[in-house]
Amino acid sequence: MMMAAKDLSIHRKDGYQDAEFQLVKDLIDAILLEDLFSIHGKGDVIKNPVESFHLKDGESLFEVPLSKEESILFPVRVSALHSYRLSGRQVYLWQKEQAVLQEMGLMQTAQLFMNTYGKESGYSEENRSQFLDELMLARKQTALTHERAKIMQRIRLTSFIETEQLAAFRDRPFHPTAKAKEGWTEEEYRLYSPEFQQTIKLGWIAVHRDYIHSGGNAKEEVLYDLLTEQESAQLTAAFEKKGIALKDYVAIPIHPWQEKNVIATLYKEEIDQKICVPLDVQLGEYHATSSLRSLAPTTDSSYHIKLPIGISSLGALRLMPPRYLLNGVKGQKLLERVKKRDSYLKQHLFICDECHWWAFHDSEQNLYADKPGHLTCQIRSYPSVIMNKEKYALVSMAALAVGKEEHLFTQWLHKQEHKVTQENVIQLFEGLCREFALFACRFLQYGIMPELHGQNVVVVLKENDLSGFLLRDHDTVRIFPEWMEKADLKDPGYVIRKDTPNTLINQNPEEFLAYFQTLAIEVNLYAIVDSLCSVYQLDEHLLWKIVKDSLQEAITYEDFTQEQRKVIYNILFSNETWPVKRLLDPLLRRKGSGGGSMPSSIGRIHNPFRSREKIQE
């Protein structure tokens, strides 16, 4: 019996429609990747497809039963990374008795999954409701982002801040609620989100020096170098007007949203006691970058500033607790130590200086409390050698994972005076991938691993050729003490809670490499693969083979011990499974605000390199 197709999508405006398509795909892909609701046990590819459903080459139809009468259906294709991904843009409700196939929108799809399988999966009603609210907000704010879609065609490879702006269009790849910034109104989203590139003027508050915790090498002159001569005079006048002196107080910049919505209430007692004194001035002009908290100056200054914002994103408050800042300095010193010792990294690793920071601390000096994380600031200094715009270009690596009709690879090829052909795109990716794999694997031999997702890594181009990679956000440099000891590296002495699990210190190579596999490969490189395939119609499995070959080549480096090489090879290529960062399941199991840590956990998928070979067979 033929089925009638009925369209149930609510929104037909371009922005909402694009948002719907993007988030439906991210939602279904995440459910399949994480095996949310035990979907691979409940659903399966239909061996006898629905007669009226037209499938393209390489597609199959996946059915998830809801009841005897109804099922969710969607087309899938085999993925290089995991078993299946949504193919196309649509999800359908199959009403078997009426023989009706109905197209569904994002929220109806999510609600059907939650209502049918949420409770039995152990997700509370409150968490299910909160997730649906976040998904709805993500759709609304993604639609606002798509209003700016035309600017994607004007992004310049040579403008660092524009590549940051581009990276914000994707945010955290493959995460359906990544764009949800809880706490911002629509107007605030337009003011402070990087896609809109509005000028942000900083608020300032004076904090008594008895209540300031700072980085060991923090220099106040760097803090005040953020200001022009005229702005410095305004700051001095604000001190005089408040009847306070610089010898007693430190002036701390604060995000204007934070100043208006958090500081006045959270620090009311300190303000009443003149421990904290709002200076009632807005000084310094900045643009938001893809991480929201990090702001880039409107000038060519090499100083960027990172400030807490008390909104929730990815299930966590965007705070900057002092312990993160302390660990960032320790992580930076570890990277600098390794760079001095390694001939390759000496030439290809660039490191942001993040030692200049200041944070409020109360009499209890509790490094694990949320409150101090609302009033901190960090000055991030970019290496002067790569700030020469005539020779160098800095490109957010996350921006290489963004593309609908245009992609930065096109500009990169043009800069190199190459034609934009599939062959040249593949060669350019191969060069990037091989260099990145070698770069990342150099850290493994020393028992350290920076957090190498796209937002933390900046591609450094010198005269349009790849020169190396710049690292920032050093507070999550993971370590494996056994390999560190063999490399004669000292424990950095991270500040961690002893009563809760931590991910910074790993006691076995499987846990240690997990952060390389999940963040550097599954999130960073695979997102670039996904984008290139979409824009240039490339074969995903071909690009994935380049990823595999690049990693195999990288670990043959002679500096690895035979034991290290064997362990790494087995984990990457021989083991039956790989780790995968689960994002939705932890969101649906969260308790409380979660503080500044994003809810996540590690699940397992089939080893994507083994799976790829089996699929091709």
DSSP string, 43-88: -EE-SS--TT----TTEEEEEEESSSSEEEEEEEEE-SSSSEEE-S
pLDDT of residue 3: 38
Out of 306-320, 336-350, 410-424, 591-605, pick the least confident.
591-605
Could you give the percent of the chain with pLDDT greater than 70?
95
Could you give the percent of the chain with pLDDT greater than 90?
80
Length of the chain: 617
Instruction: Find out whether 50 and 61 touch, Cβ atoms under 8 Å.
Output: yes
pLDDT of residue 47: 76
pLDDT of residue 100: 84
> Which residues are paired to 356 by β-bridges?
379
The torsion of the CA quartet 568, 570, 575, 577, rounded to 10 degrees, works out to 10
> Which residues are paired to 350 by β-bridges?
470
0.85 exceeded by pTM: yes
Q: What is the pLDDT of residues 436-470, one digit of tens each?
A: 999 999 999 999 999 999 999 999 999 999 999 99
The CA-atom distances, in angstroms, between 318 and each of 79, 321, 428, 596 are 33, 10, 35, 6
Q: Tell me which DSSP letter residue 438 carries.
A: H
Average model confidence (pLDDT) across the chain? 91
The answer on pLDDT for 1 being more than 50 is no
d(CA 555, CA 559): 9
How does 315-341 read in b/e, with b if 16+ C-beta sit within 10 Å? bbbbbbbbbbbbbbbbbbbbbebbbee
pLDDT of residue 417: 96
Three-state DSSP class for residue 467: strand
pLDDT of residue 442: 96
Nearest to 29 by CA among 83, 101, 108, 103: 83
pLDDT band for 488, please (50, 70, 90 cuts). Answer: very high
pLDDT band for 602, please (50, 70, 90 cuts). Answer: very high
Give me 357's structure tokens. 């920071």
The answer on pLDDT for 5 being more than 90 is no
Q: What is the pLDDT of residues 49-72, one digit of tens each?
A: 677 778 888 899 999 999 999 999
Q: What is the mean pLDDT of residues 591-609?
A: 81
The answer on pLDDT for 4 being more than 70 is no
Which residues make Cβ contacts (< 8 Å) with residue 562, sequence separation at least 6? Answer: none
The answer on pLDDT for 14 being more than 70 is no
pLDDT of residue 370: 86
The answer on pLDDT for 430 being more than 50 is yes
pLDDT of residue 2: 34
The answer on pLDDT for 414 being more than 90 is yes
HSE, side-chain direction, 13 A CA sphere, residue 89: 9
pLDDT of residue 316: 85
pLDDT of residue 16: 77
Domain span(s) for CATH 3.30.310 in the chain: 14-120
HSE, side-chain direction, 13 A CA sphere, residue 162: 11
The CA-atom distances, in angstroms, between 183 and each of 145, 174, 257, 311, 312 are 17, 22, 10, 5, 7
Q: What is the pLDDT of residues 151-172, one digit of tens each?
A: 777 889 999 999 999 999 889 9
Q: Which residue has the higher pLDDT, 1 or 171?
A: 171
Domain span(s) for CATH 1.10.510.40 in the chain: 387-574
pLDDT band for 6, please (50, 70, 90 cuts). Answer: very low
**Domain 14-120, second-level architecture:** 2-Layer Sandwich (3.30)
pLDDT band for 13, please (50, 70, 90 cuts). Answer: low
Give me 427's structure tokens. 């060669």
Strands (E), 386-484: 392-396, 448-449, 457-462, 465-471, 478-479
Q: What is the pLDDT of residues 518-572, one digit of tens each?
A: 999 999 999 999 999 999 999 999 999 999 999 999 999 878 999 999 999 999 9
pLDDT of residue 114: 97
The answer on pLDDT for 188 being more than 80 is yes
What backbone torsions phi and psi does residue 390 show, to the nearest 5 degrees?
Answer: -70, -30
d(CA 48, CA 43): 14
Out of 431-440, 486-495, 598-607, pick the least confident.
598-607
Three-state DSSP class for residue 524: helix
- DSSP-H helix ranges across 114-155: 125-146
387-574 folds as Transferase(Phosphotransferase); domain 1 (1.10.510)
